[in-house]
């Protein structure tokens, strides 16, 4: 088959477009508006838009039309998914699992205390954790370095884990990986995800939870308690503030409470 021919799966999308075959940009825009009026999701409209782009690419390559009316047109922007996060009570339930291992407790503490990505956690060495200065040196995307504060419970969890390693004659020198697998080698992020997933199940969370949920939870909780957005951006290692702003929706209720307490005409 010729490259670019619409797949059979896309034909139903094209059938809806049959009455608009003599198309130009205004008509295509009307067609997209027609789809939106039918209460289709933005994802569904984008799939149909993609089918049209492929269809006109085929027509252009085979010289059925001189140029595609799609041009630089783009489909509707996808809705941004609001990040899932755990409540403070859910975090307490997670930490209070009786059989939670020292290693995995330390991982959860660092993810939640510092807002780390799982790959950042896996790259850490013990020397990256400043037990006196209460900071962690993190290497993010593109190897970009940032320094993030760390809470005392997370430091205590790391101390307990390192002491256990020394007692078991496992690597615990300053240049050793922060977290080890069962073979006493650096814990990779896939194994870390699998280990943490088991604890999320044991905690009985009804929602889908991943290590990245703990990063969302970190950002949500500190914003909810009054941290400014720019500081959260720095701690998360976001290049643009816009990326961090997705968390602001969860602080509305907190802002309402502050407003009601602070504003003389709030009630």
How far, in Å, CA of 217 to CA of 221, rounded? 6
Spatial separation of the C-alpha atoms in residues 31 and 18, rounded to whole Å: 11
pLDDT number for residue 251: 58
Please state the φ and ψ torsions of residue 5, each to the nearest 5 degrees: -65, 135
**Which residues, in sequence order, are bridge partners of residue 146?**
138
Domain boundaries, the chain: 1-79, 88-260
Instruction: Please say whether the structural domain 88-260 has been given the CATH code 1.10.443.10.
Output: yes
Cα distances (Å, whole numbers) of residue 49 to 3, 77, 251 = 18, 12, 35
Q: What digits encode the pLDDT tens for the residues 197-239?
A: 999 999 999 889 999 999 999 999 998 888 888 999 999 998 8
Catalytic residues, by residue number, are 117, 141, 212, 215, 238, 247
Task: Assess contact for 204 and 92: CB atoms under 8 A.
Answer: no
Q: Looking at the chain, list the stretches that DSSP marks H as alpha helix, in order from N- to C-terminal side.
A: 11-16, 25-37, 42-61, 88-95, 102-114, 118-123, 152-167, 189-202, 211-224, 229-236, 241-244, 252-262
Burial class (CB in 10 A: 0-12, 13-18, 19+), 150: buried
Per-residue pLDDT of the chain (267 residues; tens, 9 = 90+): 444 444 545 545 554 554 445 667 777 777 777 877 777 777 787 788 888 888 888 878 887 777 777 777 776 666 556 678 999 999 999 999 999 999 999 999 999 999 999 999 999 999 999 999 999 999 998 889 999 999 999 999 999 999 999 999 999 999 999 999 999 999 999 999 999 999 999 999 988 999 999 999 999 999 888 888 899 999 999 888 877 887 776 556 566 666 777 777 766
């Amino acid at each position: 088959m010729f490259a670019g021919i619409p797949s059979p799966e896309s034909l139903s999308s094209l059938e809806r477009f049959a009455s608009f075959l003599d198309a130009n940009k205004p008509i295509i825009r009307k067609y997209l508006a027609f789809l939106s009026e039918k209460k289709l999701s933005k994802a569904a409209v984008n799939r149909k838009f993609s089918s049209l782009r492929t269809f006109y690419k085929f027509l252009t390559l085979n010289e059925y039309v001189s140029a595609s009316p799609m041009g630089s047109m783009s489909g509707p922007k996808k809705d941004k998914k609001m990040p899932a996060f755990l409540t403070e009570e859910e975090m307490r339930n997670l930490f209070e699992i009786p059989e939670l291992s020292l290693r995995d407790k330390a991982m959860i503490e660092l993810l939640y205390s510092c807002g780390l990505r799982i790959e950042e956690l896996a790259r850490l060495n013990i020397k990256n954790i400043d037990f006196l200065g209460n900071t962690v040196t993190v290497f993010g995307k593109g190897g970009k370095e940032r320094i993030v504060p760390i809470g005392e419970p997370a430091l205590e969890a790391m101390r307990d884990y390192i002491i256990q390693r020394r007692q078991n004659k496992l690597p615990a020198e300053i240049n050793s990986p922060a977290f080890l697998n069962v073979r006493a080698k650096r814990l990779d992020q896939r194994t870390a995800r699998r280990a943490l997933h088991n604890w999320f199940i044991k905690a009985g969370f009804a929602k889908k939870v991943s290590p990245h949920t703990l990063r969302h939870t970190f950002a949500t909780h500190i914003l909810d308690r009054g941290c400014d957005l720019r500081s959260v951006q720095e701690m998360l290692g976001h290049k643009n503030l816009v990326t961090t702003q997705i968390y602001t929706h969860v602080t509305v209720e907190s802002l309402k409470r502050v407003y009601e307490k602070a504003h003389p005409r709030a009630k």
